[in-house]
Every structure is written in C-alpha cells, then in structure tokens.
Chains A and B, each alone.
Chain A
C-alpha cells in the first residue's frame, strides 16, 4: 500500500544505485545506544498529549501505551546539542545513524516522512519512570521512486526499558527523500505540469482505429466471415480465424462493465485518484478508458456512459466516456 503521500516500500525501484551499496552496510549498526529519555514519564506531558489527541486519560494515571515513542523524542534541543558537539549524538542517536542520515542529506534526500510504526507494549509506564533505549538500524531499502520524491526507506528497531525491565519495543520506518522541485504549480497535481501522456504505438494493424479517432469515430472490427465483433484491433478473428474484416463505427453508447480507482503509483501526466473503466459498448465489445463528468468515487458497474473525445494535448486526442449517472 502506499503512503504518505503515496509512499510504500514496494514500488519504483531503480537500477544502478551506487549509494545504496554504501547505505546497506549500515544495517545492523546501532541507531541509539543506552540513550536516556529527556524527562521521566510525567503527568503534565501525559495530560497535554491526551488533550491534544482527545485521548481518554488512563484511570490509573499511567501513560497511554501509544505514547511509547514520545518518551524517546529528542525535541528541539537536538539542534543545540549538535552545535555543542555532544559525544552522544543527537538526542542519544548513535554515530552510525547520524552518519547514515548525513549521507542521505548529502545525496539530496533532505526531507523525511515516517511510513510505518509497530509497537509492542510489555509493561505500562507510570509517572516517575526513567526510560532508557537502544535502537538498531534494521535495514535500508534500495532507492525508490515515490509520489513525494525519490529516496530510501530506513527501518530501525528500538527497545525501551525502565531500569532492566523491557517496557516496549518500537519498529519505525522513515522515507528519506529528495523533495520534488516546487513552484507556482506545486502541490496537488503538480506533476501534471511538464509530463505528457504516453503516445499510442500506431502500426499497420491498428492504424485504422487511430484514423477513426481523428474523425471522432470509435471504430471496432467485425469479422467478414462470422460477423463476430472484436476490439482492440487484431489482424485475425479469434472465433473463426478469418483475416477478412470491416471497420464499424460504434454508436458511442455503453455501460461500465468494471473499473478500478488508481491511487498509487502515480504516473507522470496522471493525477490520482482517477477511475479506469472497462466500458462495454452496446455492440458487445469492451474498451479500457476513463470516465468523465463524474468523480472517481461515483463510477459504478452498470453506469450508462456515452462516448466523447478528450483533447489531451496538441498531438493527442482520446476516446473517453461521459458518465450518465
């Protein structure tokens, strides 16, 4: 699935990733080493957090379990600490983790978002508990393209203790990425700016179809021997094998036979979420296209649609279908 933002560790891996070869060597290195929480677990921070989130305050005065990570956060003080060159690193971060992040910063991956958090709670934390934590860099992903930008997923695993007793574990994944350039067109749909939709491959077998589109006709083929209609265009009939056919203009009426809504991955020139529909024409053939005039989440199987032509840019026009909801 896909995250912030359309990020998720699966899609968009690149080949030829020299930086990854260096980054992967950090796997197994410490990310935090016997670090201490800035403050003991305390009632004011619990109350502020519960107020901010609208979370019920635990009746026994303990900290909500999902505050586990809060007690390990360095806060704003980490900048001052970096300036003073404190040997323990940023808020208890161990050298290798600081180096890994610096290496990513140096490669232009200056932005960060968190994508995954897995916590197990072994014992509750109470005001007065002093926590310590150790963390290890579990893995670094190869370079990934995401909707936010290209970057690397870094996974760490932390043990949080009170004295010798384990209070909980915390696995955390971040994406360190190179932010996309921004400008007046930045924000939602910014990628529509420069990119053009892919061009159709026009060849001897399908040229007639695109000539029809140019005349605002949606042409399918009908076998001259057995009269079976077919689409997309093919040299021969799937039913009887005949290579004789004639082109027929569709009436333009049809219904949505099936559809998907595209959220991720984003492609250049497309602006998710959008619906991709398999439209069944009244003549019996089916075509993959977009549904216009209705929101992506209003497209339904069986919805009647009507052919229209969408001018995508100066060189490309496409048959699409207007929903008649």
Chain B
C-alpha cells in the first residue's frame, strides 16, 4: 500500500515488518581475533579484552569480549536485517554470560512494536520498529536488549 511518503521512482520501498515477526538468526563465531580486534578498534585497552593471563588474574577463565563490540554486533545484526539505509535510534543492552574465545553467539530478534511514519516524516521514511534482541552462547545469555530503528527506502539499483 502506498502512503504519502511513497517510494520515489527507482528506489526499493522500506521493509514493512509486523509485530511479532522473528528476525533471521545469526551465528557469530567468537574468535580470539574478533574479541581483540573489536576491543582495539573501539579503543578499549582494558587488559581483560586482549591478555588472557591478565584476565585469569582477575578471576575470568580467559579474555572476554568488551561491551562496545557487543553493542556494535547488535547494531550490525539489526542493520543487516533493516538495510543499510535504516537509521538506528536507540540501542540498549545488558550483558550476561561473557563471550569467551571458542564460543559461538547466536543472535536472535523479535519485532515488539511498529510505529508508522508520522505526517511530518521525510519522503522515503518507513516505520520505526522496536526489536528485542538476544545473543546466547554456551554459558547462557550473553546479551539482551532493545533496538529502535527507523526504516528507509533503499538507494536506486
């Protein structure tokens, strides 16, 4: 159905998810490289994120993923689903069981709210969607959170 923010010629319309829709799951291998490069790319030099011995001295069995990387992975999961032109409005996460090397994090998501674009929304803007996200590893829930994202039509093919 076309609305007043209708899609411009040559552009793909914004996705139209329904409340309750499940996002395709995504499995992320938690490698030592991902943990260390994610920490350093986010300028987080806490030794527990790159030095296994230092992590053990602080009571952890091995180094573990930093929260900025987890936050980025959650954002990435939503962006891949919503398309590169979608705009993240809010990401709120809580960490649980740590992501240690050798584990796999299974990300899943469910649409919990869909708000249609308002009358003043710019052309090409779609619904604003709230997604409940979970990332589970073999120890339990690594991350739980909520992401709010505004969908947009795609660029011309």
Contacts and interface: CB of A to CB of B under 8 A. Distances in A.
Contact of A66 (B56, B58, B74, B85): B74
Contacts of A70: 41-43, 68
A98 interface: no
B140 A273 contact: yes
A121 B59 contact: no
A118 interface: yes
Interface string A105-130: 00000011111111111001000000
A1 B68 contact: no
A8 B143 CA distance: 12
A155 B155 CA distance: 40
Contact of B69 (A53, A113, A188): A53
B72 to A, nearest CB: 5
Contacts of A49: 41-42, 72
B79 A56 contact: yes
A5 B98 CA distance: 5
A96 interface: no
A73 B60 contact: no
Q: Which of A4, A111, A148 has the most CB of B within 10 A?
A: A4
Given A4-B96, A52-B34, A121-B90, A64 B42 contact: no
Interface string B86-104: 0111111111111000000
B8 interface: no
Contacts of B69: 52-53
Interface string B58-92: 11110010111101111110011000110111111
Interface in A53-90: 53-56, 58-59, 64-67, 69-70, 73-76
Q: Which of B48, B59, B73, B93 has the most CB of A within 10 A?
A: B59
A22 interface: no
Given A112-B46, A179-B58, A182-B57, A52 B37 contact: yes
Interface string B126-137: 000000000000
Q: Which of A48, A52, A115 has the most CB of B within 10 A?
A: A52
Contacts of B144: 1
A263 interface: yes
B38 A52 contact: yes
Contacts of A179: 57-59
A3 interface: yes
A149 interface: yes
B96 A1 contact: yes
A40 interface: no
A116 B94 contact: yes
A148 B46 contact: no
Q: Which of B38, B71, B87, B144 has the most CB of A within 10 A?
A: B71
Interface in B18-60: 28, 34, 37-38, 40-46, 48, 56-60
Contacts of A1: 94, 96, 141, 144
A101 interface: no
Interface string A181-212: 01000111010000000000000000000000
B72 A66 contact: yes
Given A64-B75, A66-B88, A273-B139, A53 B41 contact: yes
Q: Which of A8, A65, A115, A273 has the most CB of B within 10 A?
A: A65
Nearest to A70: B42
Given A69-B68, A187-B61, 14 more contacts: A1-B94, A1-B141, A51-B37, A52-B69, A58-B84, A66-B88, A69-B42, A118-B91, A180-B59, A182-B56, A187-B56, A187-B60, A263-B97, A263-B139
Interface of A: 1-8, 38, 45, 48-49, 51-56, 58-59, 64-67, 69-70, 73-76, 111-121, 124, 148-149, 179-180, 182, 186-188, 190, 263-264, 273
User: What 9 pairs between A and B have smallest CB-CB spacing?
Assistant: A66-B75, A73-B43, A187-B61, A52-B37, A114-B67, A52-B41, A118-B92, A65-B88, A55-B76
Interface of B: 28, 34, 37-38, 40-46, 48, 56-61, 64, 66-69, 71-76, 79-80, 84-85, 87-98, 139-141, 144, 155
